[in-house]
Amino acid sequence: MSKQASGRAQTVNAGRPWLGLTAFAGVSATFVMGLVVAPKDEQQRDAYRLLYMHVPAAWLAYLAFTVTAIASALYLVPRTRHLRWDYLAGASGELGVMFTALMLAGGSLWGKPVWGQWWAWEARLTTTAILLFLYLGYLALRRIGGSPQQRATRSAIAGLIAFIDVPIVHFSVSWWATLHQEGSVFNDKMQLHIRDGVMQFTLLLAVASFTLLYVWMCMRRMELLALDEGLAERELQLAIDERSNRPATTNPVTV
Amino acid sequence: MSLDYEHVWGYVLGGYGLTAGALGSYAFWLTKKLRRARRSVREANE
């Protein structure tokens, strides 16, 4: 078996059904808790319910891009270089883009009734928008041709460069005077205090279930990347054999 | 500016709907593509 095929064989064979079912059950419970069970906030009334979508999305955007950066670094270090790190970086980067888009959209839907506007060019929103476009660029870069190793190397470098914006987004509310409030959960100066037990439980459930969903999706996306690459390589090998009038010599595609 | 916090359910449901739609669509697409890829691998190895 070739080294690349061996790499794919060791890639997580993923998406355990129980994990997906638990995640979707948790997300469904979050929807019920967030929309029906959790009480109104004293100041923001029902508008605060968007927090149960916005906070997990923000947390997962950070987590996903951090995983992409760590996996990229592990690929670039010769001792740990393996294509599975590239698959993990790609899968997590894609999910990070989705959660960043959801964070921006959810924040915008909250901003309209609370701030009176859909969007403001202030530090947190602007740096988050830049983050989204940086990782859209990262995903585009992954689709440019070349060998898997070439793609993995250039993507890993891009993944590390793009990650520079993550701490800037996080600390933007402390570094600059912004319209966006500081941390919503652990900051006593906040307008929105989460002291009610049901509210705290709902937020915890939201973060936990969305995180499980991220793990399940990431494992499945990794497997899909590995399988697609294995199939593409096999097709290429078959085409080369056919052109040189050799009998097919390809290794089986491994999972 | 007076904020009308009593009439925000459209925004709230929009946010929840958008999240459900995005996550559900992505999970559906991923499952479909993964099944197809697994089938292709099985056929290629037969």
A141 inside domain: yes
Residue A32 placed within a domain:
yes
> Would you call A231 and B40 a contact, using CB atoms and an 8 Å cutoff?
yes
CB neighbours of residue B36 within 10 Å: 13
Euclidean distance between CA atoms B28 and A91, whole angstroms: 16
| Closest-CA residue of chain B to A103 | B19
DSSP state of A46: G
Question: Considering chain A, what percentage of its residues have pLDDT values greater than 70?
Answer: 85
Dist. CA A198–CA A26, nearest whole Å: 15
What tens digit of pLDDT does each residue of A96-137 get?
A: 999 999 999 999 999 998 888 899 898 899 999 999 999 999
Could you tell me if residue A11 is inside a domain? no
Q: Domains in chain A: how many in total?
A: 1
**For residue A129, what are the domain limits?**
16-225
Nearest CA distance, A79 vs chain B (angstrom): 30
Q: What is the mean pLDDT of chain A?
A: 86
The answer as to whether A235 is a domain residue is no
Distance CA A209, CA B20 (A): 13
- Range scoring the smallest mean pLDDT among A39-43, A158-162, B16-20: A39-43
Q: Smallest Cβ distance to A98: which of B9, B22, B45?
A: B22
Contact: B15, A35; criterion CB under 8 Å? no
- Nearest CA among A209, A113, A122 for reference residue A172: A122
Helices A165-175 and A123-142: crossing angle, nearest 10°?
A: 180
Stretch A244-254: mean pLDDT, rounded? 66
Q: Comparing A69-78, A98-107, A237-246, which segment has the lowest mean pLDDT?
A: A237-246
Asked if A54 reaches chain B (Cβ–Cβ under 8 Å), the answer is yes
pLDDT given for residue A179 in this prediction: 72
Torsion of the alpha carbons at A85, A86, A92 and A94, rounded to the nearest 10:
-170
Query: Using alpha carbons only, what angle is made at residue B31 by residues A12 and B25, rounded to the nearest 5 degrees?
Result: 125
pLDDT averaged per 10 residues, chain B (length 46): 70 96 96 93 82
Calculate ∠ Cα A141-B26-A156, nearest 5°: 25
Phi then psi for residue A254, to 5 deg, are -105, 150
Closest alpha carbon to A72 in A165, A179, A153, A191: A153
Q: Tell me whether residue A234 is in a domain.
A: no
Residue A231 belongs to a domain? no
Asked if A109 and B41 come within 8 Å (Cβ–Cβ), the reply is: no
Q: What is the ipTM of this complex?
A: 0.89
A68 in any annotated domain: yes
What is the predicted pLDDT for the residue at A24?
Answer: 95
Nearest to B37 among A112, A213, A228 (CB): A228
**CB pair distance less than 8 Å for A47 and B30:** no
Question: B12 vs A114: CB contact, 8 Å cut-off?
Answer: no
- The residue-averaged pLDDT of A170-182 equals 78
Q: What is the pLDDT of residue B25?
A: 97
The CATH number of the domain holding residue A159 is 1.20.120
Residue A123 lies in a domain: yes
- Residue A13 pLDDT > 70: no
Per the listing, tokens 């927090």 go with A51
Shortest CA distance to B19 belongs to which of A43, A121, A35? A35
